[in-house]
Structures are given as C-alpha cells and as structure tokens.
Structure 1
C-alpha cells in the first residue's frame, strides 16, 4: 500500500434484493468502513440497489466517477439473478466471457468435471480487461476493473477478498480522533458553542453523539482531524466549553 497526503475517497455499492427486503442483514458495510478508515481512506457514500441492470449500471458509473475507489458486494454467484459482472461490463462498455484464469480457479474446487456445471461456470464470467481478486474460501474470484472492485456478498468471502485488495490500494493519512465526555450536559446547551468551535477550526470534523443509558443522556463529542496540532486545538476548545457549562450549572439542592 502506498500513502498520499491528498484525500483518498471511496464508496460502497451493495447489490441485492435480499438486502432491500430485509431477508438478509448486511454485515459488510461496517467491516469495509473500518478497513478503509485504518488505511486513511474516507468512505463517503454507501448505496443499496436491487438486482436490476439499469439501477446497477447507473450506480456503478455515478460512484466510480465521483470517488477514488468503488467497492461492490453481492451478485456474483451462480444463479440467474447474479448479474453484477454483466452490469459492470456494461458500465465500462466492454465484453464479458468465461475467463480461463477464473475457470482454472474453480477447477481447484470442483475436481470432478461434471460438478463444474453451467451454473457454476457463470462465476467465471469476467469483464474483458479485468484483474481477478482471489477467493481462498470458495475459489470463485471477484475482479477489479478501473477503480471498481467487485466482491462477493458472503461476509467471510468478502473479508478474504478485502485482504487481497488491501496491498493494492493507495491509502491516505490516517484520521486521528478524540472523544470528549459532555459530563451530563445536554446537546441543546452546547450546540451553538460547538458550532462556533467548528467554524473557528477548519481542518477538523466535530460531531455530537447522544447515548441514552435508560435514565439520562451521556453525550460524547468526537473531534477528528488528520493534523495532530489542529486536533489538539479543537479538543482544548471543546473541553473549555464543556467545563464552562458544567461550572455554570445550579448547585444541587441539599
């Protein structure tokens, strides 16, 4: 993996009717987000689309043009509704056919030629000009074409594919993060002050995250930046704001 100071961005495209219907609960988005964050790559957008050609093609073209990388999950299996590879080929305006490299990979799993039937061979159909992403679990590969990485939807297989992709990616400077406890201060009390701090500290990202414990809110303020000095300055400002608000609270009635 190489590293750059320039922002490196990404999107995830989740493909599948089963996700939209709720039948399958997505377990890939969070994993990919964590993986990319650790590499200094900003995940900027996630979309979920049905198994419909026009929807997939439009999303692939929109997202690959907007971000450094696009990662797709789902729709590269052996059944009729696994159309991701065909849609990506259409988005790139290239042909698609059985790739001998992919067929060879599948043969290592299906040693009996009769087992490598027409349906399973669908998993060896790869857009022309694509590189393969190895799959050590079930052998059916994903692929990379341009800045688009096409992966399986099964979490264990997707994770193995990400491990193969990782060394090929260009990472950015890692985002630094600190959390500040609001010490029982409600968001409404510090919202305007926090907004002023954000405006006064460009180069940082400040967010407020309420956590309801059952009786009270225990809010956390998170400050993020790729610059350690900017992070420290904004953190000090937020801590001073919270300290001021805590000091101004009425004394508890004995």
Structure 2
C-alpha cells in the first residue's frame, strides 16, 4: 500500500527575487519523511492571486496533503488567505476565535491591534485554525490544504501543532553505499539494481574532497528487507567491478 502524498507550495515574491532564501521546504520535507508521507513536489510561486488559485487547485487534486508557507501577514501583498479561499469557492470572514487570540496576544503590550493587524484574523469560512504558539496569528486548514506563515520559526511551530492530526504511512528505509569511484564507472550497476528492485529508489550523488572523489549511492524504499538486499548486492557488484565500496549504513 502506497504512503500518503504531499506537496509544498512556497508563496512569495521575495523568494523568487532571491532577497529571501527559503528555509521551509527542506524542513517540511524532513518532517514528512519522518511521518511516512511522500513529498511529491515543491513549488515556489509569486504573490499573484490567479497563480495561487491555479497551483493550489492542481496540488490539492493531485495529493493527500498540501502545505503552503507565506502570504498570511497583515500587508497588502499578503493575499494567500483570500486566494486559497477562492480556490475552494468560499468567502473570507473575520474569525472570532482568531480575533480572541490576537487580542490576548497584544493585551498589555505597546503594540496596537489596529485594523491592519486585524486582517490576520480573516479566515476562510469552514476552515480550521492552526495554532501559532510564537505570534498568535493562526494559520488554517481548508480541505486538504494547510496554510502556514512564511517565517521559518513560526511555520515550524504551526506544523508541530498540526502534525499529530496527519495520517502517515510506513517510514522509508534509507541506506547509503559509499563507492570510491566516479559515478560514470558504476552507472551500469546502478541501472541494473534499479531494474531488479523496482520499488527501491536508487540515487547517485558524487562527492569531491582534496585528492579524492567518489559516489554516494542512496537506496530508499518502504520494504526494509528489499532495500537491505539491494544495498548488499550493489556493494558486491561494485567490488566485483574492481572498485572499493563500503557496506551500507
């Protein structure tokens, strides 16, 4: 049985311009892997309503889960909330529970909860709030789409608050065989293993050090015994071809 699938959609012109470096895709990918949820793709898109609607619709149809980051702040270019709502043909309204959380957060501080900040309490009708332990303004879940903040520390706290509700699958087994030669010398062996073990993913990653080079071959799959057998056979074939190879770890 296949694991549940997920996609990530990072939303923000600042990412596309290079001004801000994304730190969310890799972190979410690691969390999903640990839950047995297969990440199928990650997209980075602009703060354009029609673009957001199109990508959210596609990703929602193709995956069990969609996780977005960015565009739910108080400024004019934070349009993720209204765009996701439009993708599901629902309206946005001032959410009373979200307002209560904001009021509680700003109470006793010098920061005024003005109309601009109140925008962060506007949530699509029918959505479920995602807790934000860092700065109170919640994300939300609408259908199978989880909308979170772009700031890494806030996004991570949001994901951690919702992760228990996700239905995962089998955590993949991943083994690495280090080969003391270039991948061009073992490519035919990798192809042989890939064809023989169809449910095991075989990835080849060359590495370079002063005076040395080699290839790390990573084998990944849901069947632990198959991955182990594939790694052992790969190691034997590489050695038989006259190259050094370390046992899988």
Conserved 8 A contact 1:185-1:246: no
Gaps spanning 5+ residues in structure 1: where?
249-254
Give the aligned length: 243
When the two structures are superposed, what TM-score results if normalisation uses the length of structure 1?
Answer: 0.92
**Is 1:159 the equivalent of 2:167?**
no
Cα distance, 1:46 vs structure 2? 0.4
**Is 1:37 the equivalent of 2:43?**
no
**Is 1:72 the equivalent of 2:72?**
no
Q: Give the Cα–Cα distance (whole angstroms) in 1 for the partners of residues 239 and 2 of structure 2.
A: 36
Cα distance, 1:236 vs structure 2? 1.5
Secondary structure class of the residue paired with 1:193: helix
Cα distance, 1:246 vs structure 2? 2.3
1:218-241 per-residue CA deviation (whole Å, 9 max, x = no partner) reads 211111111112112211210111
**Is 1:20 the equivalent of 2:3?**
no
Residue 220 of structure 1: which of 205, 216, 223 is its match?
216
Conserved 8 A contact 1:185-1:245: no
**Is 1:243 the equivalent of 2:239?**
yes
Secondary structure class of the residue paired with 1:82: coil
Secondary structure class of the residue paired with 2:47: coil
Q: Which moved more, 1:189-198 or 1:131-140?
A: 189-198
Q: Give the Cα–Cα distance (whole angstroms) in 2 for the partners of residues 24 and 120 of structure 1.
A: 23
- Give the match for residue 48 of structure 1: 44
- Give the match for residue 137 of structure 2: 140
Q: Give the Cα–Cα distance (whole angstroms) in 1 for the partners of residues 237 and 95 of structure 2.
A: 61
Secondary structure class of the residue paired with 1:219: strand
**Is 1:185 the equivalent of 2:185?**
no
Q: Give the Cα–Cα distance (whole angstroms) in 2 for the partners of residues 238 and 92 of structure 1.
A: 48
- Give the match for residue 3 of structure 2: 7
Cα distance, 1:217 vs structure 2? 1.8
Secondary structure class of the residue paired with 1:185: coil
Q: Give the Cα–Cα distance (whole angstroms) in 1 for the partners of residues 45 and 123 of structure 2.
A: 21
1:150-203 per-residue CA deviation (whole Å, 9 max, x = no partner) reads 000000000000111100000010000110010x22111110121011101121
Q: Which moved more, 1:228-237 or 1:167-176?
A: 228-237
Conserved 8 A contact 1:72-1:150: yes
Q: Give the Cα–Cα distance (whole angstroms) in 2 for the partners of residues 192 and 181 of structure 1.
A: 16
Q: Give the Cα–Cα distance (whole angstroms) in 1 for the partners of residues 134 and 88 of structure 2.
A: 28
Q: Give the Cα–Cα distance (whole angstroms) in 2 for the partners of residues 238 and 164 of structure 1.
A: 41
Q: For 1:57-96, list aligned pairs within 5 A.
A: 57-96=53-92
Against the structure 1 CA distance between its residues 187 and 110, is the aligned structure 2 distance closer, same or farther, given a 3 Å change threshold?
same
